[in-house]
A and B are shown apart, each in its own frame.
Chain A
Amino acid sequence: MRERPVQFGTSTTLIGMLTEPGAAGSGRPGVLMLNSGILHRVGSCRLHVRLARALAAAGYTSLRFDYSGIGDSEPRRDTLPFEASAVAETREAMDYLAARKGLDRFVLLGLCSGADMAHETAVADARVRALVLLDAWAYRNLGYYWRHYAPRLLRPAVWANYGRVRLQRLARRRVAAGTPVGGDGVEYEMPKYVREFPPRERIANDLRLFMSRGMQLFLLWTGGLWVYNHRGQYAATFRRELVAGNVREEYLPDADHILTGLDHQAWVTREVVSWLETLPHGAAGTAAGRGPPAGSAPSPSRGPA
């Protein structure tokens, strides 16, 4: 395995770390790891470093890098919004790997905003053949509401609380909001990207496009995303668009959003690498239409104990 820092980009200087296997695996796509929020390229809890090294051991070249203004990369001089610059810069990263390493197919991996930008880049660039999305955009469906509300309806405490709230409202009591006071935006910096979930119809269109290209998706949700609560929710939401053989959906209810669990980090690393190894790399783009609609035959749970 070889690791070395690289600088690339046309609009500004982007800084990344290239990890290459000792002997490049023939036909394997390049893997790009995208920033989550303003966490720099090592990823939440250093997940990207761990993944890059495991991928190199399996023959994959990967690049983790910082978007402009994040981590160690310079800010841009133009006024392009983050959603546009992130897609442009991810494509520049692909251009870089194409020119330097001869790679022409790519896997994009991201958590939260990184998942969003991976999705958006895939829409714009057909070189993306697979996505690994952690806590991606998801949509509540009937199954979600059933799992969310049914257990509550059976708990007396919930009804008692409901009655108390109604009485409070009747008495027109005003309850102080108690909103915690955050940083002043100078001393405590949060991502400027505001995560808005696109309309479901738009995602359905994108997924049709992805499936028509034969793209492969590894989708994992943690217990830290409020709109997702059971394995198979995404497949059920987009059952008309997704092709089962092209999608693996997983749920780690015990994991938090930034994957602080050491066992969860190990599981994600292991499963992402082994999943990539099952893909038809040599014939990427021909896998569409291989199976029944996703969600019709859920695979057994393979989450960590």
Chain B
Amino acid sequence: MNPVLFGSASQSLFGLYMPPKAKRARPCGVVLCYPMGQEYMRAHRAFRQLGQLLQKAGFHVLRFDYYGTGDSAGDAEAGGLAQWTADIATAIEELRDTAEVPRVSLVGLRLGALLAARAAARRDDVECVVLWDPVTDGAAYLEELFESKVGARGGVQADLADRTATIGVMGFPITPALRHELEGARLVDVPAPAGGNRLVIASQERPEYAAAGTHRPAGAGPVQFELVPSEGSWTEVDDYGGALIPQRLIHRIVEYLADETRP
């Protein structure tokens, strides 16, 4: 595991390059795209495991922190969807250069799925995009964050009607700019990658996941939907830093990406 800083000097991104640990290295990399906020904290362990399994399957892997998150440069208030989408593009270039691979796949969880889809749009070097429990509608996602956390630990700490206020949700800020961006972000509006495959994989039965699994943008490759039921919620907060690691689902993602018979 090689920790690296990449991107521009003023907006350096922290990443972990994980080289293949198989006899045969695949000519394809995988960029892992985290969710945001407390969901990022809760998913870190699962991403480590996913990365290790992909290494063993022969992939070059890069998992990284978006600008203003994790170990990357920038304050927590500095990030936003446009920035993070651009960061994924930067990470794709970084992995292609480091591993000398012509193509990459993207795996994104929650908001990371929406960002991955946006980053893959109109690119011709993306083989697959895996959308894991995807946020499909930014406005609905905000509602979910705001409503479920009122009065709970890490609950909303600002007047939601005040659109100039930064709102703390589960310990992380949602700035007015990020809120505005989220309200206009929908998966159905994202153009497809040229010829890329898409897997929507869900840990729970939710209508938006199923809808995403049947939505095939014009010019897109095959779209596949799978439900792999798993316990736990990404939006919970506990005192122990508990981590969700949906094992069967993680293994299924690796199996899907490693399937060389896939159309």
In the complex the two chains form, is B240's CB within 8 Å of A183's CB? no
A88 to B150, CA, bound (A): 42
Chain B, interface size: which category? Answer: 35 or more
Task: Kindly state whether residue B91 has any CB partner on chain A within 8 Å.
Answer: no
Chain A nearest CB: distance from B37 CB in Å?
A: 9
Task: Kindly state whether residue B160 has any CB partner on chain A within 8 Å.
Answer: no
In the complex the two chains form, is A72's CB within 8 Å of B171's CB? no
Tell me the B residues contacting A by CB distance below 8 Å: 1, 3-5, 12, 14, 16, 38, 41, 44-45, 48, 69-71, 73, 75-76, 153-154, 157, 166, 168, 170-173, 230-232, 237, 239-247
In the complex the two chains form, is B239's CB within 8 Å of A4's CB? no
Q: Can you sample 14 A-B contacts with CB below 8 Å?
A: A38-B241, A39-B241, A44-B171, A45-B170, A45-B172, A46-B76, A74-B1, A184-B231, A187-B247, A189-B244, A191-B240, A256-B154, A258-B171, A260-B171
Residues of A within 8 A of B230 (CB): 187
In the complex the two chains form, is B239's CB within 8 Å of A72's CB? no
A259 to B154, CA, bound (A): 8
Chain A, interface size: which category? Answer: 35 or more
A183 to B231, CA, bound (A): 7
Task: Kindly state whether residue A274 has any CB partner on chain B within 8 Å.
Answer: no
> Given A72-B16, A258-B237, A262-B168, A39–B41 Cβ distance below 8 Å?
yes
Residues of A within 8 A of B3 (CB): 5-7, 15, 72
Chain B nearest CB: distance from A43 CB in Å?
A: 10
Tell me the A residues contacting B by CB distance below 8 Å: 3-7, 13, 15, 17, 36-42, 44-46, 49-50, 71-72, 74, 112, 183-184, 186-191, 224, 256-263, 265
Residues of A within 8 A of B38 (CB): 45, 260
Residues of B within 8 A of A224 (CB): 239
In the complex the two chains form, is A17's CB within 8 Å of B168's CB? no
In the complex the two chains form, is B168's CB within 8 Å of A186's CB? no
In the complex formed, the residue of A with least CB distance to B154 is: A260
